[in-house]
């Protein structure tokens, strides 16, 4: 009997080889970035007002975007997963298509709808003198448009996979639909919700195309970290590399720290 083979069951060699290759593919760009990182110190970078403003703007807008995404995206997901909405599949496609569009196209669409001459933006400007493009609000709108689908999709999938048993029990205990939604449904999909929130935030933080198209690149108002990085690439490569590294560090810290910790945590085994 072949003892060796029995001792190491179930390792499909091609999968391991291809998987390892794929993982290396993800590592290489970061190695490049770190290898080329200038020796210039990070404090110098943050002494630059423009960089600080961009970083603050990015963090603030991405967090606000994530807040709106939760507020609007979870109800969208609920409607998609639970309601008898006619044409649900079409609605699902519409609510998530911005995720796969080239971000520039998303930006153009937003500009044509909400710009000063836009279908909605025009009347808005005429009636209230409100103009969205080239404002921080436009940054949030651009981020929300391309990032919220990540939340909608993960929460939608989780709601559809959720066994309604606990929710039914809650209803028999006198819980109104709203109470059951808040106290049972949402906690039951917590892992997917956190996952969706993190993905949405990460997408918002990295948003470039829709932002530059719809919101422009005004320092302090709409120039987020990705925009600052792209501009720096033209005249100060070192700064571009450092800005990139900061983005990588922030993103990695959140994806690795938050997601693993909260999504991996089993119910009941909390601190």
H or E stretch including 109? helix 103-114
The rounded distance, in Å, linking the Cα atoms of 27 and 15 is: 18
* DSSP assignment of 190-222: HHHHHHHHHHHHHHHHH--HHHHHHT---TTTT
Rounded CA gap, 269 and 250, in Å? 28
The pair of structure tokens assigned to 7 is 């001792």
**Count of residues interacting with another protein (CB under 8 A):** 24
Q: Is 182 a residue that touches another protein (CB under 8 A)?
A: no
Single out the residue of 172, 234, 235, 271 in contact with another protein (rule: CB under 8 A).
Answer: 172
- The stretch among 146-154, 223-231, 247-255, 263-271 that binds another protein (CB under 8 A) is 263-271
Q: Is 154 in the site for another protein (CB under 8 A)?
A: no
- Which two tokens mark 41? 């110190």
Decide if residue 168 touches another protein (CB under 8 A): yes
Which region, judged by CB under 8 A, interacts with another protein, from 22-30, 164-172, 226-234, 249-257? 164-172
Radius of gyration (Cα) for the chain, nearest Å?
23
Phi-psi sector, 236: left (phi>0), alpha (psi -120 to 50), beta: beta
- Cβ closer to another protein: 87 or 268? 268
Return the residue of 52, 117, 160, 183 that touches another protein, per CB under 8 A: 183
Pick between residue 13 and residue 266 the one whose CB is nearest to another protein: 266
Stretch that binds another protein, among 24-32, 103-111, 165-173, 253-261 (CB under 8 A): 165-173
Does residue 174 touch another protein according to CB under 8 A?
yes
Residue 109 CA to chain centroid, in angstroms? 20
User: CA 30, CA 54: separation in Å to the nearest integer?
Assistant: 22
Q: Does 161 bind another protein (CB under 8 A)?
A: no
| Position among 175, 181, 233, 236 found at the interface with another protein (CB under 8 A) | 175
Which residues are near another protein by CB under 8 A? 165-166, 168-177, 179-180, 183-184, 187-188, 190, 266-270
């Amino acid at each position: 009997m072949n003892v060796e083979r029995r001792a190491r069951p179930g390792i499909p060699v091609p999968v391991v080889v291809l998987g390892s290759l794929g993982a290396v593919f993800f590592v290489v760009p970061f190695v490049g970035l770190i290898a080329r990182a200038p020796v210039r110190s990070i404090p110098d970078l943050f002494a630059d007002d423009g960089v600080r403003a961009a970083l603050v703007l990015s963090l603030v807008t991405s967090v606000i975007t994530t807040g709106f995404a939760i507020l609007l995206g979870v109800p969208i997901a609920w409607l998609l997963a639970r309601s008898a909405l006619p044409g649900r599949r079409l609605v699902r496609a519409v609510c998530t298509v911005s995720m796969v569009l080239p971000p520039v196209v998303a930006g153009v669409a937003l500009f044509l709808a909400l710009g000063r001459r836009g279908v909605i933006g025009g009347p808005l400007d005429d009636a209230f003198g409100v103009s969205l493009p080239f404002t921080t609000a436009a940054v949030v709108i651009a981020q929300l448009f391309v990032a919220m689908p990540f939340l909608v999709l993960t929460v939608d999938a989780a709601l559809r996979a959720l066994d309604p048993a606990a929710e039914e029990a809650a209803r028999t205990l006198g819980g109104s639909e709203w109470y059951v939604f808040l106290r049972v449904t949402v906690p039951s999909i917590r892992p997917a919700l956190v996952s969706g929130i993190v993905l949405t935030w990460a997408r918002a933080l990295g948003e470039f195309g829709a932002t530059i198209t719809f919101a422009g690149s005004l320092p302090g108002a709409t120039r987020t970290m990705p925009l600052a990085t792209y501009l720096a690439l033209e005249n100060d490569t070192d700064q571009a590399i450092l800005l990139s590294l900061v983005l990588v560090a922030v993103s990695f810290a959140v994806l690795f720290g938050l997601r693993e910790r909260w999504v991996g945590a089993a119910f009941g085994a909390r601190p």
